[in-house]
Structure 1
Amino acid sequence: MSEKSSGKGKCALTIPGDGVKIELIASAIEDAKKIEACGGDRIELVSALSEGGLTPSYGLMKSVIESVNIPVNVIIRPHSQSFVYREEEIEMMKQDIRMAKELGANGVVIGALNEQNQICELSLNRLLEAAKGLEVTFHRAIDELEHPVEGVKILSNYKSINRILTSGGKGSLSNNKEIIRNMILHSDHIKILVGGGLNFENVTEIMQGTNAPEYHFGTAVRVERSPFKNISEDLLKKLIKLVKK
């Protein structure tokens, strides 16, 4: 990709090359503008960041998608109670996916489990049908599985799934590096997007220990690392420089 300038933020916009990709969470239009202006590769758009991210409103989706040029992937998650969804909730999620598609989202971030903490392929198939034509990320529901690598093998059967967001299961990223490496080994066409606890202190270790192609950040670039505070442009620029070096 080529370099271009933009007036949508205070930082000079640089479109990175085809190396390591950085995805950052936005929960407001100003977040999205900062992420693009400072060189982020992709946005995961959420509401309720303090709850791990829920489906954003129509207005937020529309405003963000129309305000930036980098890809916007919208999380489709109706509640934070679990990743097990009733029939009515799956129908709601399908409607939200269609809305994201109509608004021009690049992709959606989805996931569904059953009561045994296994991937619910029945629900997943219904969501994937609604998401045809969009990029699909299977989110950190996979980290609830007893054996995340087995989950990767199952998801690799779905050609319409593009990436998996994971911290390698329960526990800390630093302790899960080998699991993440094994997830990458068995991921077939799917890209492994590492996230969930990534920060300035551990990102170099995690990058060197996993060699994952993509990295996902949330509170690491926010003031006081708080989900309730704004993205800090200074932290964002430092992070992108650190990861892209």
Structure 2
Amino acid sequence: MANIEIASFNRRAALIAQENGADRIEFCAGMEVGGITPNIEDVIALRKELDIDLNVMVRPRGGDFVYSEDEFDQMKRALIRMKQQDVNGFVFGILNKDNSVNMEQNRALVELASPLPCTFHRAFDDVVDMDVALEDVISCGFTTILTSGCEPNVMDGIANLKHLVQRAEGRIVIMPGGGLRSTNVEEVLRETAAVYFHSSAITDGGNTAVAQEVKELKEKVS
């Protein structure tokens, strides 16, 4: 049996996900840029409404994953504030200009988040060498990598996802995400043997999870 994390860009989406079987919420703002740090007031309100785990995105802006010192300080401040709100984990990822993993900055945030777990998000899909990046992310102390297998979506990256799961050898969770839907999750599960899956469950062109899609995702990995 595998688990489902739903990326939620508003409180309504998160509540729909919870009501329809999601195991965890990745909460963020800015769907149009792939997710950024949400408003602290929204996190506080949502925490009161959720019984399932709530992971929060820490990303100061859209675009690339190379951040200035000012942006990095902004990430640290946001993480500290969110940590005080009884969240269950954090989602972030920082690269160097050559698209290698920024060990120093990622380690600093992981340590700041401790003892809460951290997911290295789809910045992973921009790395040059996924095997080297896998070891670097593990070394930084992350517990999960969200990835489409360094391809545009999970179906294109399915072979790489299988490779990453095998190479990780249980040291870190490889969580397929990016174009994951109820129509393909069974194939991704079968081919990769992953134990956690990530989807926005948006199938109607909107910005909110669709209840039936969440139900079907959960049913198909259970």
Give the TM interval when normalised to the shorter protein.
over 0.9
Q: TM-score, normalised by structure 1?
A: 0.86
Q: Which residue in 2 is equivalent to 1:178?
A: 159
Q: Which residue in 2 is equivalent to 1:10?
A: none
Q: Alpha-carbon deviation of 1:234?
A: 2.2
Aligned partner letter, 1:176: G
Q: Which residue in 2 is equivalent to 1:87?
A: 69
Q: Which residue in 2 is equivalent to 1:234?
A: 212
Q: Where does the alignment leave 5 or more consecutive residues of structure 2 unmatched?
A: none
Q: Which residue in 1 is equivalent to 2:149?
A: 168
CA contact (8 A) 2:173 2:195 kept: yes
Residue 43 (str. 1) matches residue 25 (str. 2): yes
Q: Alpha-carbon deviation of 1:167?
A: 0.5
Aligned partner letter, 1:178: A
Q: Describe how 1:201-216 pairs up with structure 2 within 5 A.
A: 201-216=183-198
Q: Which residue in 2 is equivalent to 1:119?
A: 101
Structure 1 runs (4+) greater than 6 angstroms displaced: none
Q: Where does the alignment leave 5 or more consecutive residues of structure 1 unmatched?
A: 1-18
Aligned partner letter, 2:172: I
Q: TM-score, normalised by structure 2?
A: 0.94
CA contact (8 A) 1:83 1:111 kept: yes
In 1, distance between residues paired with 2:158 and 2:131?
A: 12
In 2, distance between residues paired with 1:171 and 1:30?
A: 27
Aligned partner letter, 2:213: L
Aligned partner letter, 2:191: G
CA contact (8 A) 1:149 1:179 kept: no
CA contact (8 A) 2:176 2:196 kept: yes
Give the match's secondary structure for 2:151: coil
Q: Alpha-carbon deviation of 1:223?
A: 4.7
The percent identity for this pair of structures is 28
CA contact (8 A) 1:173 1:197 kept: yes
